[in-house]
Structure 1
Amino acid sequence: MLNLLYNFSIRSYSFIISLLVPFNAKARFWIDGRKDIFERLKTAINGQNSSNKIAWFHCASLGEFEQGRPVIEAFRAKYATYKIIVTFFSPSGFEVRKNYTGADFIFYLPADTPENARKFIEIVKPSIAFFVKYEFWRNYLAELQKYQIPAISFSTIFRPSQLFFKPYGGFYRKILKQFDHILVQNKESYNLLQSIDIQQITLAGDTRFDRVKQIVDAKKDIQIAKDFKANRQVFMVGSAWQTDMEVLIPFMNSEIKVSKTVFVIAPHEIHREEINTWQKQIQLKSICFSEVKPETQLTDYQVLIIDNIGMLSSLYQYADFAFIGGSFGKGLHNTLEAATFGMPIFFGNKAYHKFQEANDLIRLKGAFAIASTEDISFIFNDLIGDSDRRKQAAKACRDYVLENIGATEKVMHVVESILNN
């Protein structure tokens, strides 16, 4: 009965998404990206050397892709004869990384129905499958198990509130038991899996730390940001939503008068009307990245708005403080990219609790969860007035990243033991 209910819910979700196509761009990408997908898969897979084995990596979205990327690249370096296919559930992952050169094939993942899972596995014939963080698709895992194809989940994290650990969660526990190995981020997750008699587990940490280390090592110079900073103190707002700006704009309008701080704002999504509204509300002189010309005197401006996608991780190198968006809404965005460059970090106090790194950084006094404009103003001014505390917060963030590097190596050790078995 639960299996029927699961499959019905998957089909219902797909149907609802199809109804939203005329009104929602993401829904349109979600549906259009899956049209004729099995024919396109056949064409792509049949066009490769049949002697090549295939490694399949599945990521929900862009954040999970960045989490999985160090493992994808480590796998490619060690197993050069394998072809790599990367699949995405969400348009926000696929549309940004569809041209990623580290994979041979990049597709949307068809919805997790029994027939889709069967067709996908029959066409792709992966020799090993990887699922990043939260991806637990019952039918795909069952199909992999049927053909004895090893399935690995890594950078996975669990909480006691999840259905797997409830007395009535037997159906969901069976899904987890279809994995050959699960590599978890923290000790709590390890203990939770042991409590439901899952033994093929490793406490490996989070591969995102390895990814942000790669970002630091490969950071790009952004001349416009460098010229904007000059010798000034930069407060970076990363992945900003409207709910974040409602708190931050009054802060920006007051703090520039006190601390002479300038601001760089990177919206989570680029909407011209929204940016125009923010510029009208901000009392400081602002300019969009796309408006900068060779003759522009950037030091005449106090706010630089990044109206493009793809450079946020490198922008943090110019920051002295950072606010990470999303936590006044559905969920906090990536704090580690800022932390690795070493600076005090702020975020909303609503939706950060499920993010291990956010809780750790608060505990280490490198990050601060704020509820209001008054909150951020008070803490910011305290840090401005106490240089030792500010330096300690920055060091706590930087050291936290450095101390947690190494999860990719542990994943690859498990991969090696499976493939050499």
Structure 2
Amino acid sequence: MRALYCIIFYLLLPFVLLRVLWRARHNRGHLKRLHERFGYVAPITGKRTRIWIHTVSVGEFLGALPLIRELITRQDSELIVTCMTLTGSERIEQTLGGKVHHFYMPYDLPGALRRFIKIVDPDLLIIMETELWPNTLAACKAHGVPTVLINARLSERSARGYRRISGLTRAMLSRLSAAAVQHRADAERFIELGLADTRLTVTGNIKFDIDFDDEQQELAVRLKNEWSNSGPRLVWIAASTHSGEDEVVLQALRQLRDQGLQPEQLLLVLIPRHPERFDAVASLCEKSGFSLVRRSAGEAPSLATDILLGDTMGEQQLMFGAADIVFMGGSLVDVGGHNFIEAAAWGQPLISGPSLYNFAEVSRLLREAGALEIVESAQQMATAVQRLAEDEDLRSLTGAKAQEVAEENRGALARTREVIEKLL
């Protein structure tokens, strides 16, 4: 089965490379360090324990960051952090600089992985969430490198996909040394797919173990004052939006304007999920008749500005601290939602669409606490935002409930660290 998988991967590789070239039309950074995708990386000197942590992109990296910072403090260890995306790479370098070794993750090809592992010589691979690749796990097993899956989640939808390739899935899971999963339901799905229950530990979601230091809190206050012109103007953030959602958000904003909420009363901060969509979303906002300021321009929105486009990288977490209301995207289209926890930890009232299968447990906790409202249309979104905008007590109460959920679910980081230490 794995041989067939390798053949398919090799057949698809030209299309993968063409996609890289296509993206490079707008950002030449996609072509830089392409050799790392094939396992050609700089040698690492020294004899300390080498911990390899793989985070797919920005979201996974930020989720793993508290753990990474803890592991950096191990006196006898050095860290190798890999990712798959340009934005993830930029965020790793920006946040950690020379504190870790950073490379792109090699493509899941036997030769590339053998080359990478031989050069890097890791003592442990930590995989964030459910980024499982058959050849990666096989190569680690062959070279005696223990592998642990952390903060793992497995929706029923994803489990159905893995069942369709049950032979490959079972073989892949058998090569995992351990798995720290978010919830019991995730554990049961992994066991059904073939992971031994003796290798499973239910730890909770480490993304709840988030802290905002004094500097971040001061920056958030400063940003809120800048956006509200130090007045009563409210800030509504629509975060991590996908194509098809921006249109709904803009329709809702139009309805709010028609109902009397003017720019000096409510600013929309629209943050597309993917950087390649920034220009298209800016154009959509302007064609819809709204005045727009781009965050990347360094210009503060005036009280006449309808929309601030969040077209910078790495600021979304900070922006949540400057918000009054947050809509989380990836939920009005069939994406499965995005991470609510950062906004909840800031104590913000939350709105979402109904597609939440990737964050089923987190969304359940927030809904049961009365901290998350589900909407399915522009009309419902406008109604939800207006209700919160007009009622300060409701905003405070709903935000406090969200923050309480975030606080009550902390502790997964310590439990995950215990699982990792047993393998070191």
Mapping of 1:3-82 within 5 angstroms?
3-25=2-24, 32-35=32-35, 40-41=40-41, 43-45=42-44, 48-49=45-46, 51-77=47-73, 79-82=74-77
Q: Structure 1 residues 215, 339: closer, same or farther in 2, change over 3 A? A: farther
Aligned partner of 2:346 among 341, 346, 362: 341
TM-score with structure 1 setting the length: 0.87
Deviation, structure 1 residue 28: 7.2
- The residue identity in structure 1 corresponding to 2:18 is L
Q: 2:152, 2:199 → 1: CA distance?
A: 13
Q: 1:254, 1:37 → 2: CA distance?
A: 47
Mapping of 1:205-284 within 5 angstroms?
205-210=204-209, 212-214=210-212, 218-219=216-217, 221=219, 223=222, 225-229=224-228, 230=230, 231-256=232-257, 257-259=259-261, 260-268=265-273, 269=275, 271-283=278-290
Q: 1:70, 1:402 → 2: CA distance?
A: 15
Contact (CA 8 Å) 1:131, 1:154: kept in 2 or not? yes
Structure 1 window deviating more from structure 2 (22-31 vs 173-182): it is: 22-31
Q: Structure 1 residues 28, 352: closer, same or farther in 2, change over 3 A? A: farther
Give 3-state SS (helix, strand or coil) of 2:34's partner: coil
Q: Which residue of 2 aligns with 1:414?
A: 419
Contact (CA 8 Å) 1:353, 1:359: kept in 2 or not? no
Q: 1:39, 1:404 → 2: CA distance?
A: 38
Contact (CA 8 Å) 1:216, 1:340: kept in 2 or not? no
- The residue identity in structure 1 corresponding to 2:295 is F
Deviations for 1:287-338, whole angstroms, at most 9, x for unmatched residues?
3334555xx7833434333332222211111211011222234342332221
Aligned partner of 1:85 among 63, 76, 80: 80
Aligned: 1:332 with 2:337: yes
Aligned partner of 1:152 among 131, 148, 152: 148
Q: Which residue of 2 aligns with 1:201?
A: 200
Q: Which residue of 1 aligns with 2:318?
A: 314
Percent identity over the alignment is 22
Give 3-state SS (helix, strand or coil) of 1:35's partner: helix
Runs of 5+ consecutive residues of structure 2 not aligned to the other structure: none
Aligned: 1:130 with 2:102: no
Aligned: 1:170 with 2:172: no
Deviation, structure 1 residue 61: 1.5
Give 3-state SS (helix, strand or coil) of 1:299's partner: coil
Structure 1 window deviating more from structure 2 (390-399 vs 297-306): it is: 297-306
TM-score with structure 2 setting the length: 0.86
Q: Which residue of 2 aligns with 1:288?
A: 294
Q: 1:377, 1:74 → 2: CA distance?
A: 42
Q: 2:144, 2:181 → 1: CA distance?
A: 22
Q: Structure 1 residues 104, 382: closer, same or farther in 2, change over 3 A? A: closer
Deviation, structure 1 residue 73: 1.1
Aligned: 1:94 with 2:94: no
- The residue identity in structure 2 corresponding to 1:171 is L
Contact (CA 8 Å) 2:237, 2:326: kept in 1 or not? yes
Give 3-state SS (helix, strand or coil) of 1:243's partner: coil
Q: 2:395, 2:269 → 1: CA distance?
A: 20
Q: 2:387, 2:36 → 1: CA distance?
A: 58
Tell me how many residue pairs correspond in the alignment.
408
Contact (CA 8 Å) 2:294, 2:311: kept in 1 or not? yes
